[in-house]
Amino acid sequence: MILQDKVALVTGGTSGIGRATAIAYAQQQAKVVVVGRRIDEGEKTVRLIKEAGGEAIFVQADVTKETDVKAMVNKTVDVFGWLDIAFNNAGMGGENPSLIEQTEAEYDRTMNVNVKGVWLSMKSEIAQMLKQGSGSIVNMASVVGVVALPNILLYTASKHAVVGLTKAAALQYAKAGIRINVVAPGAIQTDMFEAVTDEAKAYLTGLHPIGRVGTPIEVANAVLFLSSDLASFTTGETLMVDGGYVAQ
């Protein structure tokens, strides 16, 4: 058990990769804080963890709101005493493919959730981790945090920003006992992937040399490694979980 007695928080733990990671954390004996806006889905993740013998709570929070994000960390500390691990996974896609037809509202939505959400989360998490003198944070980017796809340019920009935030924060807190890394998955079989057209699914699948898209648990396993002491000398790293996509 690589996370025995650790306290781990997952934003976007109400579905997809976040839910798979919350369950994987609990299987490694972490106490888990599941965060998201949808109460029913958050409680479902908690139920799945408890049915398997684990310990978890749900905290409703919108990662774009600083008051919510502060409250999510405060609740974690109130219930479990401290915060060892945070997976800042909440994110969204969905934009008009044409730059000249995109609206300010689309820009603000994508940047608020994918970039501001990670920044706000790190702010509150690191403030707590500094008091403890230790902590491990994993942020969620994407292959398009490293390379670009033309038809999802706001999403691409937002995930590049997450990679940059991760590297700079990792350097800022390297001597404080806080490691900060980022995962960059290729296309993964979740609601987000299911939301695209069949044509787009076939196109995206074809981009992966391994010949298929990934599964949420395959990302969760990479996050587990970075979160744990197995990665004790790893910080500022972008770990590709992409079936060979960017190796081409």
Q: Which residues carry out catalysis?
A: 155
d(C-alpha 183, C-alpha 212), whole Å = 19
Can you tell me which of 7, 9, 11, 156 binds ligand NAP, judged by CB under 6 A? Answer: 11
The reply on whether position 91 binds ligand NAP by CB under 6 A is yes
The reply on whether position 73 binds ligand NAP by CB under 6 A is no
The reply on whether position 70 binds ligand NAP by CB under 6 A is no
Residue ranges in 112-174 assigned as alpha helix (H): 117-132, 153-172
d(C-alpha 183, C-alpha 222), whole Å = 7
d(C-alpha 173, C-alpha 247), whole Å = 30
The span of 6-14, 72-80, 119-127, 129-137 binding ligand NAP (CB under 6 A) equals 6-14
Site for ligand NAP in 94-113 (CB under 6 A): 113
The reply on whether position 14 binds ligand NAP by CB under 6 A is yes
The span of 36-44, 94-102, 168-176, 225-233 binding ligand NAP (CB under 6 A) equals 36-44
Residues 6+ apart with CB under 8 A from 195: 93, 94
Compose the 192-211 pattern: x for residues touching ligand NAP by CB under 6 A, - for all others.
xx------------------
Residues 6+ apart with CB under 8 A from 208: 186, 187, 214, 242, 243, 244, 245
CB of 11 to ligand NAP, least distance (A): 6
Residues 6+ apart with CB under 8 A from 48: 19, 23
The reply on whether position 82 binds ligand NAP by CB under 6 A is no
Q: Residue 75 half-sphere exposure, CB side, CA atoms within 13 Å?
A: 17
Residues that bind ligand NAP (CB under 6 A): 11-12, 14-18, 36-38, 41, 62-64, 89-92, 113, 140, 142, 185, 187-188, 190-193
